[in-house]
Amino acid sequence: MPSTFVRMRKHFAWLAALLFVACSGSSATDPTSSSSGSGSSSGGSSGSLDGGGGGDSSVPSGPYKSYVTLGDSISDRGGVAPFFYDLLAANDDATWPDYGGKDFKSVYGADFKVYKHAVSGSVSSGLLKQIEGIPEGVVPPVVVTLTIGGNDLRAAILRVLQGQDGPDRDAFRANLTAAFAALKKKLPGARVFQATIYDPSDGTGDFSRCGQPLSLIPKQDTKPFFAAWNKVATEVAAAEGVTMVDAYTAFNGHGVVPTAENWFAADCIHPSRIGHNEMRKLFFPKITGR
């Protein structure tokens, strides 16, 4: 009985904590503008999203003319500006003097267009609506970045902790597959780059640096949880020609544990200014080959 009680206490503590991992936060004013709109799917295509590249970013397509963001709040104002997708699109030294470096416009030209369609709080089942909202007339070649899965994991946390989240991961797989099928129709030939789900606790379950209730969470090994969910994303990506960007590994060692160089905002979930710049550094060479 005591051991059962301890396990259940840990389960409910993690449930309370992960309710805050619903990538739904917002941040400082976003100085860049975006194109938006709605429209129905146009055209059809088969094969991988990148037109046959099979997810291999060693020879990037380009020069890209358009950039589309999809996913959760990591791609929709979660954390501290400047956000990674703005740094990728147009690294404005006048607005962000500490963030010099190449961006898409410097590589692909001044007519490069940005379409922001990520939505804070989104789970993978919400990707279809985001894709439907992409307007007609997006000029190819198109590059897409995607951050998704953290909220799916959070929503299933009790089953994750009990090792009963197989059906949830199956649903995640189906949602990603459906989303990429819709994206093939909406943006034939687009190159898609998806980030893995990162762990703010560096695999320790240690949120002692955070305020309550996160700081009350009993420590436990979280690596198997994230490994199982990222495995699903990686397998779907391989089948669909999507290139994975390993945020999990890059952010590991920079979480909210006391010894880390923290890449997370005060909410202990979303990227800080440092974290968003590191996300930019992950995506940029994968996409451009530079």
- The Cα–Cα gap between 16 and 35 comes to 37
Q: Would you call 244 helix, strand, or coil by DSSP? A: strand
Sign of the alpha-carbon dihedral angle for 151, 153, 154, 156? positive
End-to-end CA distance of the chain: 58
Compute φ and ψ for 172, nearest 5 degrees.
Answer: -60, -45
**What pLDDT is attached to residue 61?**
62
**What pLDDT is attached to residue 62?**
67
**Residue with token string 């979480």:** 255
Q: Burial of 286 by CB count in 10 Å (0-12 exposed, 13-18 middle, 19+ buried)?
A: middle
Q: What is the pairing mode between strands 142-147 and 66-71?
A: parallel
**What does the block give as tokens for 230?**
């990222």
Give the predicted TM-score (pTM) of the model: 0.84
DSSP β-bridge partners for residue 243 = 193
Cβ neighbours of 253 (radius 10 Å): 13
Q: Report the Cα 179 to chain-centroid distance in Å.
A: 14
DSSP assigned state of 35 = B
Per 3-state DSSP, the chain is made up of helix, strand and coil in percentages (nearest 5) of 40, 10, 50
Q: What is the CA radius of gyration of the chain?
A: 19
**Could you tell me the domains of the chain?**
2-36+43-288 (3.40.50.1110)
Q: Would you call 109 helix, strand, or coil by DSSP? A: coil
Task: Tell me the mean pLDDT per 10 residues along the chain, length 290.
Answer: 47 46 43 35 43 44 89 98 94 79 87 96 98 97 97 93 96 98 97 97 91 82 97 98 98 92 94 96 94
DSSP β-bridge partners for residue 194 = 146, 244
DSSP assigned state of 256 = S
Q: What does 171-202 look like in DSSP terms, one character per residue?
A: HHHHHHHHHHHHHHHHSTT-EEEEEPPP-TTT
Amino acid at 35: S
Closest CA to 105 of 70, 61, 145, 67: 67
* Secondary element (H or E) of residue 9: helix 2-18
